[in-house]
Amino acid sequence: MGKRILLIIGGGIAAFKSLDLIRRLRERGHDVVPVLTSAATEFVTPLSVSALAGQKVYQDLFDLNDESEMGHIELSRAADLVVVAPATADLMAKMAAGLANDLASTLLLATDKCVLIAPSMNVRMWEHAATQRNLATLEKDGILTCGPNEGDMACGEFGFGRMAEPMEIIGAIEAAVNDGPLKGKHILVTSGPTHEPIDPVRYIANRSSGAQGTAIARALLALGARVTFVTGPADVAAPVGVEVVAVQTAAQMLNAVQSLTDLDVGVFAAAVADWRMANASDQKIKKDGNGLPVLEFAENPDILATVCGSDNRPKLVVGFAAETQNVIENATAKRKRKGCDWIIANDVSPATGIMGGAENDVTLISATGAEDWPRMGKDQVAQKLAARIAEALS
């Protein structure tokens, strides 16, 4: 079901990505009503925006034609969602202060609809106390955000400030307009293996493909959840629409997870390496004739147990138990030890073909007992789990 998106394009270099955003939104059946700030017209032309949107572009607050056809109040309300992409530091400041001195800011003040912003700016501008203060105000006002991401910037610097990619924004848009039972819920899914470096070219890993975690994230999205997907280096691509945080090591995964403070549910599907090297080398270890290298291990933090024991524990925490023997017994003990609500236990012995395969054979273990699910595709397991989560939160 296509939605009507009022897209406000701010004046930043990332405005060119908004052209792709419009194209992809329309491909997915949504209508896009574009609004350009005057600064935005320095980066993209009204003609290209209007051609891609298949709609008239709105630019001027005092355009009498528009006021007779559709006034700014009506324009701001005849949408399912208002999206600001790119949301510049200036636009964010105007929104936080409640200014209304051009069409974009007036629409944002007049709307009674949910607003989603995709910030984009230089890293120093993003980190500036004023922008962070404005962001906190906007979040308090119920404005949704998507990004910014970390990376190279057009100005040559590196850091947070790059606008989220169009498909990430679409994910946030669809999560915001989706009327599924998990609408408004923020769910973390950890997924994939972790890689623990031995030296700059070698690492310890495991056989997790990330398929089950990815399927769960997709199923949760389909029920309307906002999903943050913290993933190690998986074989399977992250689903469209989640907020992806890509990590390599268990320590990085823990950091990423601990930075999330507003979670309703955590699903810990990652196959986190239990050990890392205590003595990882900065340089490539060479065959230097001094015998074989000795790899010394250190235990990684238990991310699931840490979250379960923290003040920020989500209401519902789902862990996984990858076992090769005494599956139910081990998984039942693991649930208690780690402090999670449910454990999805599976037998990952090579003979089952589960690790890296398309199917899974799981048992859901909760405080009330063990429930054996028939062997089925990882997508079906994901859908069943997502439905259970929705039921538990209702």
Q: Which residue has the tokens 């997790």?
A: 208
Site for ligand CTP in 228-267 (CB under 6 A): 250
**Among 107, 319, 335, 383, which residue interacts with ligand CTP (rule: CB under 6 A)?**
319
Nearer to ligand CTP, 229 or 268 (CB): 268
Taking the C-alpha atoms of residue 77 and residue 68, their distance in angstroms, rounded to an integer, is 16
Taking the C-alpha atoms of residue 63 and residue 72, their distance in angstroms, rounded to an integer, is 10
Q: Does 342 bind ligand CTP (CB under 6 A)?
A: no
Smallest gap from Cβ 263 to ligand CTP, in A, equals 14
Give the DSSP H/E element, type plus range, for residue 366.
strand 362-366
Structural contact between residues 227 and 215, judged by C-beta atoms closer than 8 angstroms: no
**Among 304, 316, 354, 364, which residue interacts with ligand CTP (rule: CB under 6 A)?**
304
Nearer to ligand CTP, 186 or 338 (CB): 338
Q: Does 270 bind ligand CTP (CB under 6 A)?
A: yes
Nearer to ligand CTP, 49 or 322 (CB): 322
**How far, in whole angstroms, is CA 268 from its chain's centroid?**
15
Smallest gap from Cβ 345 to ligand CTP, in A, equals 8
The tokens describing 54, both together, are: 């298949």
Separation of first and last alpha carbons in the chain: 24
The tokens describing 167, both together, are: 């498909």
Taking the C-alpha atoms of residue 170 and residue 162, their distance in angstroms, rounded to an integer, is 16
**Among 31, 80, 199, 274, which residue interacts with ligand CTP (rule: CB under 6 A)?**
274
Total count of residues recorded for the chain: 394
Q: Which residue has the tokens 């208690």?
A: 336
Structural contact between residues 232 and 210, judged by C-beta atoms closer than 8 angstroms: yes
Q: Binding-site residue total for ligand CTP (CB under 6 A)? A: 16
Q: Which stretch binds ligand CTP (CB under 6 A): 94-102, 119-127, 222-230, 300-308?
A: 300-308
For 127, how many CA atoms within 13 A lie in the half-sphere containing its CB?
7
**Catalytic site residues?**
155
Site for ligand CTP in 320-339 (CB under 6 A): 320-322, 334, 338
Smallest gap from Cβ 149 to ligand CTP, in A, equals 24
**Among 90, 302, 341, 347, which residue interacts with ligand CTP (rule: CB under 6 A)?**
302
Q: Does 216 bind ligand CTP (CB under 6 A)?
A: no
Query: Contact residues for ligand CTP (CB under 6 A)?
Result: 190, 250, 268, 270, 272, 274, 300, 302-304, 319-322, 334, 338
